[in-house]
Structure 1
Amino acid sequence: MSTASQPASGSGRIFVFVGGLCGAAGVALSAAAAHLGGAFVGTVASFLLMHAPVFLAIGLVGANRILRAASLILLVGLVLFCSDLLARDLLNSRLFPLSAPIGGTLLIAGWLAIAASTLVRARS
């Protein structure tokens, strides 16, 4: 069976699931931003929609340990960043002090780690 037709397994399934959730939440929040407004809801929707394909690709293609770790860093950063922005709009409060900057920093670190994962040679 070719790799393309094999279902994702283990951590791959989790990343596909996360990608699907990010995509669904991004679409729902895009609609909410269009109909209800909110200073940050549209930004959160954009971040979720732009990261959803990353998680899908990593889940479907497979990944080395560094790429999986990078994806987890990216996911934690995305959750912190988006949660803080949504809390500001919906609760008029922050998630916790510096949660958005920490999340943004983790997003940057996650993307750099994804780039670094290409520098690791596959074990033969």
Structure 2
Amino acid sequence: MTRLWRICGALLVATGTIMGALTAHLPDAHFAEGGRVMARSAMDMQMWQGIALLVLGLGLAERTNRLFIAGGSGVLVGTLLFCAGVYNTAFTGHHGSHIAPIGGSILILSWLVLAAGWVRRS
């Protein structure tokens, strides 16, 4: 599982870099109103969570337990849902789904689960 986190973390950072370039260089017409700022926020979140997955994958490679697996997996799923929802809104202007809030909630819960895993390990 930790190998998957490292791979996905690297892919999140790579695609986050692409999104950063698009956000910086695309003409305003490609974004909904206020979309450039939204896309930049999603890219920031994607980059931080991608780096976190890399660190989790490296740091927990030999010492995983159920809480760490659930927490790390939730970070991955939450990041994908949150960023996809925000990018969709940034480019289309449609707030048609609850994907971003669900993803954000999963992220928060996942970090709490990881904290519990580290408390339990102590």
5 Å-filtered alignment, 1:1-124, equals: 11-36=1-26, 38-61=36-59, 62=61, 63-94=64-95, 97-121=97-121
How many Å separate the matches in 2 of 1:108 and 1:83? 17
How many Å separate the matches in 1 of 2:121 and 2:10? 30
How many Å separate the matches in 2 of 1:12 and 1:77? 17
Instruction: Give 5+ residue unaligned stretches, structure 1.
Output: 1-10
How many Å separate the matches in 2 of 1:43 and 1:121? 33
Instruction: Give 5+ residue unaligned stretches, structure 2.
Output: 29-35
How many Å separate the matches in 2 of 1:22 and 1:119? 28
Match of 1:118, as an amino acid?
Answer: W
| RMSD of equivalent CA atoms | 1.8
1:4 corresponding residue in structure 2: none
Q: Is the 8 A contact 1:32 1:41 kept in 2?
A: no
1:7 corresponding residue in structure 2: none
Deviation at 1:91, TM superposition (A): 3.3
Q: Which runs of 4+ in 1 moved over 6 A?
A: none
Deviation at 1:28, TM superposition (A): 0.9
How many Å separate the matches in 2 of 1:49 and 1:25? 9
Matched residue pairs, number?
111
Structure having greater relative contact order (Cα 8 Å, sep ≥ 6): 2
- Identity of aligned pairs, percent? 30
TM-score, length basis structure 2: 0.81
How many Å separate the matches in 2 of 1:14 and 1:70? 14
Q: Is the 8 A contact 2:39 2:90 kept in 1?
A: yes
TM-score, length basis structure 1: 0.79
